[in-house]
Structure 1
Amino acid sequence: MKKFLKILVAIITVLVIAMFVIGKKYHYEQSIVINAPIEKVWNNANSMKSFNQWNPWLKIDPAMKMEYFGNAGEVGDGYFWDSKNDDAGYGKQTILEISPMKKMKTEMKFIRPYEGEATSNLTFTTEGNATKVTWDMDTEMEYPMNIMKLFMDGHMEKSYSEGLNSLKKLSEN
C-alpha cells in the first residue's frame, strides 16, 4: 500500500508541475494555398454563413440548430449553434474585426458542455495567382484543464485540415 501511495503522490506531483510549466495560453495555426484568386476565396469565408459552408465542426451534428444575427460580412455578424451532441455543444461565434480580402477575426464563446472563450483569425495573402489562407485560434485554459493542451494539437490539426481542404475545394471549383 505504501508503494502505491508513493506512486500516486509522484504522479500527482508530476501533473501539478506540468500544469504550471505548460501554462494557460494555447495557440494553434495552420495554412493552405488555394489555387484561386483572393476575391473568390474571400467570398467563401467573409461572413458567418460563408464560413459555415466549410466549417468542419458543423459536420459533428447535421441536426444542429443555427441562428444567425447581425449583417453578413460586417462586425457583429454571428450565429448561435445548439447541438444535442456534447462534442458540438452550444455556443456563439461573432465577427470582431474585418479587413476585406486580408483578415477576419472572430470570437467564440462556448457555453455547453464546457464554458470557454477563444479568438480565431482567417488571414488571406496573395501568392501569385493563388491565395494563402492561415487559420489560427487563441485561448486560455484554466488550471487544471490546461493539461488538455497536450492533446489538442492532434484534434485541431484534424479539424483545421478538414476545414481548410473544404475551403480549397469550394474555392477551386
Structure 2
Amino acid sequence: MSTYEVTRNAVIPAPPEAIFPLVNSFHEWTKWSPWESVDPAMQRSYSGSDSGVGAKYAWSGNRKAGSGTMEIVEATEPDSIKIRLEFAKPFKAVNPTSFTFTPSDSGTQVTWTMTGENKGVGKLFALFMNMDKMVGTDFEKGLAALAGAVKQRRA
C-alpha cells in the first residue's frame, strides 16, 4: 500500500490569532476554500459545534466537487487544527488533514498538510495523477485566498 502527503506553506502577514478562526470554523471556509467555487450548486450542511472540536461539515456536489464530510478532531488555539476529511465520492477515502500556524518575522507561516493512502480505485488513480501536483495547486490557491480573507477581515 502506498501513502502520500501533500504539504504547502505560505506566510500570511497577520498574527496566528487573526488567521486561526477562519480555519477553525467551517462556516468561514466559504471565504477562502479553493473548492467552494468548483460547483456553484453544491449543497452544504453544518452540524456539531460552530467551531473547534466537534464542528462538522458535509458537502455534495457535481462530479468535480464530489461529496464527503469534514470534522475538526483537534484544535489548539492559535497553533494547530486537525481535521478528519472523508470523501464518499468520487471514491471513498479518509485523508487526515492539518493546519499549523507558526509565528514568523513577517506574520504567520501557515502549513496545510493532507495525508492519505492509495488503495482500491485511489491506487489506480494515483498511477495517472500526481496527488501532490493536483491537490498542491488547490492548497496554494486556498492559502492565497486565506491571506486575502484575513486582510479583508482586518481592514
Q: What TM-score comes out, normalization by structure 2 length?
A: 0.89
Check whether the contact 1:24–1:143 (CA below 8 A) recurs between aligned residues: no
In the alignment, structure 1 segments of 5+ residues that lack a partner are: 1-22
The structure where helix makes up a greater share of residues is 1
Alignment of 1:15-164 (within 5 A): 23-83=1-61, 85-142=62-119, 145-149=122-126, 151-164=130-143
CA distance in 2, matches of 1:52, 1:93: 14
Amino acid at match of 2:72: I
CA distance in 1, matches of 2:147, 2:131: 24
Residues matched between the structures, number: 150
CA distance in 2, matches of 1:168, 1:38: 12
The structure where strand makes up a greater share of residues is 2
What does the per-residue CA deviation read over 1:65-124, in whole Å, with 9 as the maximum and x for residues that have no partner?
A: 0010011222110111011x1111111111011101000000111112211111100100
What secondary structure sits across from 2:145 in the alignment?
A: helix
Larger radius of gyration: 1
Per-residue deviation, 1:147: 4.9
What does the per-residue CA deviation read over 1:27-61, in whole Å, with 9 as the maximum and x for residues that have no partner?
A: 11000000112211112211111233211112100
Amino acid at match of 1:158: T
Q: Which consecutive segments of 4 or more residues in structure 1 shift more than 4 A? A: none
Q: What TM-score comes out, normalization by structure 1 length?
A: 0.80
What does the per-residue CA deviation read over 1:112-170, in whole Å, with 9 as the maximum and x for residues that have no partner?
A: 22111111001001113501100000111115632544522211121011100000111
CA RMSD of aligned residues (A): 1.6
Check whether the contact 2:39–2:65 (CA below 8 A) recurs between aligned residues: yes
In the alignment, structure 2 segments of 5+ residues that lack a partner are: none
